[in-house]
Structures are given as structure tokens and as C-alpha cells.
Amino acid sequence: MFEAIIGALIIMLMRICDVTIGTIRTILVVQSKKYYAGFAGFFEVLIWIFAIRYIMLHLDNIPNLFGYATGFAIGNILGITLEQKIGFGFAQLTIISRQFTDKIADTLRKSKYGVTILPGEGGTGGVSIIALIVPRNKQRKTIELIESIDKTAFITIQHSLPYRGFKHGVRK
């Protein structure tokens, strides 16, 4: 019984590792970081092969199956949490503020962000739309800065893959 539990824990740990790496690899693929994604994928699959090999050799051990499933679940949680901390890539923030558009734009510009203001039409009339690209690892602080000026500002966040003319979200 002790060996069965140890085997299940080993499988769980291998799955936590390979799924965490897989989550990061997926984000690297989306960010077009092909060499990093390939490197991560190598280790992801290598660990997975060892885990599935152990499972196949011990199919009669039910705790292994639970270890596999638990490791998969925890690996997803850990992978997403880790990626949020690292903050790969870029995000496009779109902000609509009823009264503080200029103050938000000026504050962001003073913080060295490139800001574009666009005219828009809302349900109650004309609005100004602020658009900017930020490194994902600066996204939270940027939103906190915006909310320090207007807690009711409408903010959307989208993944962004800058193509040309972009210098890491912050002007030098």
C-alpha cells in the first residue's frame, strides 16, 4: 500500500511539472516565441512520457489514476498563477472615462506610456477612448494608476502582439 501511494505521488508531481510547463509553453506559442516554446515543449513531453509510462505499467493501481488527475488539475492552477506573476507579452488597455480622460492620458504619458486618444460614440453621446499597449508584467500597476484617477473608468484588456513601431510599452 505504501508503494502505491508513493507511486501516485510521483505521478502527481510529474503531472504538476509537465502541465505547468505546458501552460507556459502555450502562452509562449501565442506570443510567437517559437524557440522558447520548443525548449519548454521538449521537457513537457519528456516528463509526460515518464508519467504515462509509469501509469501504463501499473494500470491496476487506482491511486495512480487519481494522482494523474490531481497533478493535471494542480498543474493548470500553478501554470496560470506562475504565468500571471511573470507576465509574458503585452496587453492592450482600452479605457473610457466620463470625466477624467485628459487627466488619465496625461498621467500615463508622464509615466512614459504611449497613449492614443480616439473619438467614440456611446449610448449617451460622444466619448473619448484611451488606448495603450503595456507589458503584461506592468498591467496591474497601470490599471491601479488609472483607478487612482477614476474608479469607475470602463477598462478592457486584450492580448496584444505588437507588429511594428513598438518599443516595449514604455517610451524611453
Global confidence as pTM: 0.68
Strands 90-96 and 125-135 turn out to be: antiparallel
What are 68-117's pLDDT values in tens digits?
Answer: 999 999 999 999 899 888 877 889 999 999 889 999 999 999 999 999 99
Q: Is 31 helix (H, G, I), strand (E, B) or coil?
A: coil
Adjacent-strand bridge partners of 92: 133, 158
Going by pLDDT thresholds of 50, 70 and 90, the confidence category of residue 167 is low
Residue 29 — φ and ψ, nearest 5°?
A: -65, -45
Adjacent-strand bridge partners of 156: 94
Nearest to 93 by CA among 30, 31, 136: 136
Residue 61 — φ and ψ, nearest 5°?
A: -95, 100
Residue 134 — φ and ψ, nearest 5°?
A: -130, 150
What are 123-160's pLDDT values in tens digits?
Answer: 888 889 999 999 988 999 999 999 999 999 999 999 88
Question: What is the residue whose three cell numbers read 480622460?
Answer: 101
Nearest to 71 by CA among 11, 6, 161: 11
